Chain A
């Protein structure tokens, strides 16, 4: 279909998180994406690290490859004490695809202008979805590359470098089922976690905060989505009004016609601005909320893993006591208990670090995006103002 690279005039829509490319030793971006049956992202890496074969290279990757990478990291025991960057959601081209279908079907019954307008709408929507999905995949990789532990991950390196199809290394059906199962167990963990007694003040606070915040941010995301959709509807309406005005003007002559045409022009331009307002709001606000909903979930996952380790530790204590009572397998039980404690301590220690930096990261991200959104809103509104002022002047002078 179409290959869409980032426009030169559109602001480089960078991460919803902090500027993650500030470490020059490993810089990743997605400069391009192709959409045929599947979306193919071009993952471009620039690095000074010796572990890579080339200093500058690109590979094509599909969405499933990203999911594979995410899942292998999640299943790596070593990373249990870290917040795993959330997996990017599947690209959703349902909206544009539907429109394209409608366009193809109705081509014969529409006038040339209507067709052109619908095509415009379609392209705008496509572009918006594209920007979103590229951004979210990019951020995922950048989170990994900027983390001291993840960047060294072998699978990550393969992902970046392996210049052939990754499909063979991806989950086969059995593994996928395994992953599914893991998710189910996790939900049971949630119940477990809320019940576990927490001794550490820090984690107790974190748990309460994350649980509360999680539900609120989910709600805010949903409401933001609805609001953004309404904006888009308004922009669409401007489009239709502009078309209808032109139709009415075409049938006329005299001053009436001129007024209508001018009005149609204004609506057309306003539509463009409204479209940008809607998509910028989506990108900066709605996407921000969406992303942090997922990130909060990842933080919660860390807490669950830690709580599970705690539960394991407590179980191992009980087992040790039982073994001591029975007089059997004491060494083994002691060893088990020591390991559990170690694991728990390690998770607690790294967990604390991760959660603290998560806080900082979240605040910075919100700041950045809110500022950018506000600046864009101001810019668009000022554009509208000058557009409207100009048109009013012209109409009045006629």
Chain B
């Protein structure tokens, strides 16, 4: 299911070309990526996590790749307003190298229709001609988009030594979007690059009321262990956790139709060398500044009481805050499960060894054999528990952690709207003051200053109307964003829940097999 994301960007001129592209979906075949390349982009959703080996990169990959992909589809979620169209026309003009015709533009609206998608209501005009080869290859839930954009983050490599060391990740993109220079390409990025991207996006778009996906969290402890060179399982786990989080982050960013158009995003994906993002360090000057700003924001939040004409916002914000709390609790419960399962895993391993010892001492040969078989079964169970713990974490726990942070981002969005409103209020009160000043001047009969006053009033009148428009726009955007977010959330959760249940199912299947294999051994005791 190479379901691309539901892009409504500039159309691809030629369907046939695209089909050919889809067949050659292989990443740049560098290093040892060949197998992984195949895995990333194949439809692997029905396949449970490959059990045989400890979760290695390739496997994780196919999982991550496959399920996130459908995440990335969402198109415009039926929010077809003029704004959207405008956005895309602009984008079209700026970016593409291929010809964009008005014909092309109409097609933008088309592809969001997904004939078989039941969870997500397509409001679009269905253009039958849009049915492409991609539809057949996509899973039912994916929208039949013409455009693909698949992103994967792989190959963490440690660069450098000691405290200046860092992990470098390979960011691979495979796309049919014409706004990119190539169809498949990859670059190497480090964690601070991702943070830098977030900063840039946030600076540009958050004031417009978009929900900006939050980046993965920094972790001084985790990174220090890696830097210091501890080659143990916990630092490997940390790197894997971060890699997966970075991947999800990017996928969410490009899933957002407006953000994808941002040149910074494109640069991040494409450009070979990025200037170092120094403002992202926690203990830097800008870092402190950010902390201060955040604090003042918090204070503002407490003092502003918006005059809400629309209850929707107030109740929605309340909902969001509640949900954040509930998800936090749910996350804690899942976290506990992950830990206990890991405990179960190690206890099973220890028990297995103990049973093996017992078997070796046992004088009855049939019982002795059965006991060593039992030890082997328990050993297999240990592996199953290990993999299940992995699923518990990566499918469920990380999903919840992501959404707790995303809900925080949604809250920020609401706060931004409040800021815009505040700006409007201030402008309105300034205008009021200017008018009063003019009135005073009139009354005091000072004609020389009157012109100045009139100019001031005009200036502020236009500011007020500008801010009013801004506020309207932000209100509209926030509303749309929230609806989009909620749809995404429902779909995301459903997908992950199903995936998780499938992982449990897989484990139970294997359990049945293990025990069924043991049963004749037990019966053979004499």
Is residue B305 within 8 Å, beta carbon to beta carbon, of the partner chain?
no
B365-378: CB near A (< 8 Å → 1, else 0) gives 01100110010000
For the complex, give the distance between the alpha carbons of A200 and B363 in Å: 18
Write out the residue numbers on chain B whose beta carbons fall within 8 Å of the beta carbon of A212.
361
For the complex, give the distance between the alpha carbons of A231 and B378 in Å: 13
B330-344: CB near A (< 8 Å → 1, else 0) gives 100110110011011
Write out the residue numbers on chain B whose beta carbons fall within 8 Å of the beta carbon of A237.
333, 336-337, 340
Question: Which of B191-199, B223-231, B260-268, B508-516 contacts its partner?
Answer: B508-516
- Do residues B374 and A220 form an inter-chain contact, with CB atoms below 8 A? no
For the complex, give the distance between the alpha carbons of A371 and B502 in Å: 29
Looking across the interface, which residue of chain B has its beta carbon closest to that of A247? Answer: B326
Chain A interface, DSSP helix/strand/loop, else mixed: helix
Write out the residue numbers on chain B whose beta carbons fall within 8 Å of the beta carbon of A385.
505, 508-509, 512
Given A209-B363, A374-B522, A378-B512, are A234 and B341 neighbors across the interface (CB < 8 Å)? yes
- Do residues A220 and B357 form an inter-chain contact, with CB atoms below 8 A? yes
B504 CB → nearest A CB, Å: 6
Given A241-B330, A381-B512, A389-B505, are A363 and B364 neighbors across the interface (CB < 8 Å)? yes
Looking across the interface, which residue of chain B has its beta carbon closest to that of A289? Answer: B358
Is residue A116 within 8 Å, beta carbon to beta carbon, of the partner chain?
no
Looking across the interface, which residue of chain A has its beta carbon closest to that of B353? Answer: A223
Is residue B525 within 8 Å, beta carbon to beta carbon, of the partner chain?
yes
- Do residues B367 and A388 form an inter-chain contact, with CB atoms below 8 A? no
Write out the residue numbers on chain B whose beta carbons fall within 8 Å of the beta carbon of A260.
493
B312-333: CB near A (< 8 Å → 1, else 0) gives 0000000100110011011001
A378-396: CB near B (< 8 Å → 1, else 0) gives 1001101100110110011
- Do residues A233 and B525 form an inter-chain contact, with CB atoms below 8 A? no
- Do residues A395 and B498 form an inter-chain contact, with CB atoms below 8 A? yes
Is residue A240 within 8 Å, beta carbon to beta carbon, of the partner chain?
yes
- Do residues A367 and B351 form an inter-chain contact, with CB atoms below 8 A? no
Write out the residue numbers on chain B whose beta carbons fall within 8 Å of the beta carbon of A240.
333, 336
Is residue A307 within 8 Å, beta carbon to beta carbon, of the partner chain?
no
- Do residues B501 and A392 form an inter-chain contact, with CB atoms below 8 A? yes
Write out the residue numbers on chain B whose beta carbons fall within 8 Å of the beta carbon of A224.
351, 354
Looking across the interface, which residue of chain A has its beta carbon closest to that of B326? Answer: A248
For the complex, give the distance between the alpha carbons of A389 and B501 in Å: 8
Given A223-B347, A240-B336, A259-B494, are A381 and B508 neighbors across the interface (CB < 8 Å)? yes
- Which of the residues B323, B334, B498, B523 comes within 8 Å of A392, measured between beta carbons? B498
- Which of the residues A227, A244, A254, A371 comes within 8 Å of B330, measured between beta carbons? A244
Is residue A270 within 8 Å, beta carbon to beta carbon, of the partner chain?
yes
- Do residues A256 and B490 form an inter-chain contact, with CB atoms below 8 A? yes
Is residue B163 within 8 Å, beta carbon to beta carbon, of the partner chain?
no
A147 CB → nearest B CB, Å: 22
For A238, A243, A259, A262, which residue has the most chain B Cβ atoms within 10 angstroms? A259
- Do residues B519 and A255 form an inter-chain contact, with CB atoms below 8 A? no
For B333, B350, B371, which residue has the most chain A Cβ atoms within 10 angstroms? B333
- Do residues B519 and A374 form an inter-chain contact, with CB atoms below 8 A? yes
Write out the residue numbers on chain A whose beta carbons fall within 8 Å of the beta carbon of B508.
381-382, 384-385, 388
Is residue A252 within 8 Å, beta carbon to beta carbon, of the partner chain?
yes
For the complex, give the distance between the alpha carbons of A378 and B508 in Å: 9
Is residue A377 within 8 Å, beta carbon to beta carbon, of the partner chain?
yes
- Do residues B354 and A256 form an inter-chain contact, with CB atoms below 8 A? no
Write out the residue numbers on chain A whose beta carbons fall within 8 Å of the beta carbon of B504.
270, 384, 388
For the complex, give the distance between the alpha carbons of A14 and B472 in Å: 75
Write out the residue numbers on chain A whose beta carbons fall within 8 Å of the beta carbon of B351.
220, 223-224, 226-227
Write out the residue numbers on chain B whose beta carbons fall within 8 Å of the beta carbon of A209.
361, 363
B214-245: CB near A (< 8 Å → 1, else 0) gives 00000000000000000000000000000000
Further 9 A-B residue pairs, CB within 8 A, beyond A366-B370, A374-B515, A374-B519: A209-B363, A233-B344, A237-B333, A248-B330, A378-B516, A381-B512, A382-B512, A391-B501, A395-B498
- List 25 contacting pairs A-B, 8 Å CB cutoff, sorted by A: A209-B363, A216-B354, A216-B357, A217-B358, A220-B357, A223-B347, A226-B347, A227-B348, A233-B340, A237-B333, A244-B329, A251-B322, A252-B319, A256-B490, A266-B501, A359-B364, A363-B364, A363-B526, A370-B522, A371-B519, A377-B511, A378-B512, A381-B509, A395-B494, A396-B498
